[in-house]
């Protein structure tokens, strides 16, 4: 701050746009609303999907065919650095992970992924393993068992 600023007074933020104050202001005549019509009026709002009377895209696209969404499997990813927090020789499964707070909902099961380093021998039971995770677990003497049952049971 310098003396010149103090004399004029400080302006915080940006000045509001003054509309309809003549052509010289840059916001005169139509007041930045363009030409005539619905959007120039007060209270006008056009929906995000409105295309000016043209048939909207979502109506033009075909809705036939098969969608696999309802049948997909959603697995909770668990990395090796989470398994490293367990004690050596411990059995790691859905219930053990849920008790420690690493899994909150069941979904369709858990999948062990290979991020991190594992140094402890563990018996891991999961619904899926990545190749690198399986190799890392078996390299330290652990076991990998794929289960196909519901994780809650």
Pairing status of strand 91-92 against strand 76-79: unpaired
Only one residue has tokens 């916001």, namely: 27
Residue 114 DSSP class: -
d(CA 49, CA 150): 41
Q: Scanning the structure block, which residue is given the tokens 């019509």?
A: 37
pTM over 0.75: no
Percentage of the chain lying above the pLDDT 90 cut: 46
- 121: pLDDT confidence band, cut at 50, 70 and 90? very high
Q: What is the pLDDT of residues 49-94, one digit of tens each?
A: 889 889 999 899 988 888 888 888 888 999 999 999 999 999 999 9
Average pLDDT of the chain, as a whole number? 87
DSSP strand E in 63-142: where? 76-79, 91-92, 110-113, 123-126, 128-129
Q: Spell out the SS3 assignment of 4-69.
A: HHHHHCCCCCCCCCCCCCCHHHCCCCCCCCCCCCHHHCCCCCCCCCCCCCCCCHHHHCCCCCCCCH
> Which residue shows structure tokens 């399986």?
134
- pLDDT of the residue at 8: 61
pLDDT of the residue at 151: 65
pLDDT of residue 68: 87
CATH number corresponding to 70-146: 3.100.10.10
């Amino acid at each position: 701050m310098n003396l010149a600023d103090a004399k004029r007074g400080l302006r915080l933020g940006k000045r509001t746009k003054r509309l309809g104050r003549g052509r010289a202001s840059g916001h005169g005549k139509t007041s930045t609303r363009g030409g005539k019509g619905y959007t120039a009026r007060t209270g006008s709002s056009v929906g995000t999907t409105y295309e000016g009377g043209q048939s909207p895209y979502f109506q033009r696209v075909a809705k036939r065919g098969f969608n696999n969404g309802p049948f997909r499997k959603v697995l909770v990813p668990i990395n090796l650095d989470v398994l490293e927090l367990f004690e050596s020789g411990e059995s790691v499964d859905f219930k053990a992970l849920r008790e420690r707070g690493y899994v909150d909902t069941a979904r369709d099961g858990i999948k062990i992924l290979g991020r991190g380093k594992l140094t402890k021998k563990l018996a891991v039971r999961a619904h899926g393993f990545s190749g690198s995770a399986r190799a890392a677990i078996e390299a330290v003497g652990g076991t990998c068992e794929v289960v196909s049952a519901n994780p809650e049971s």
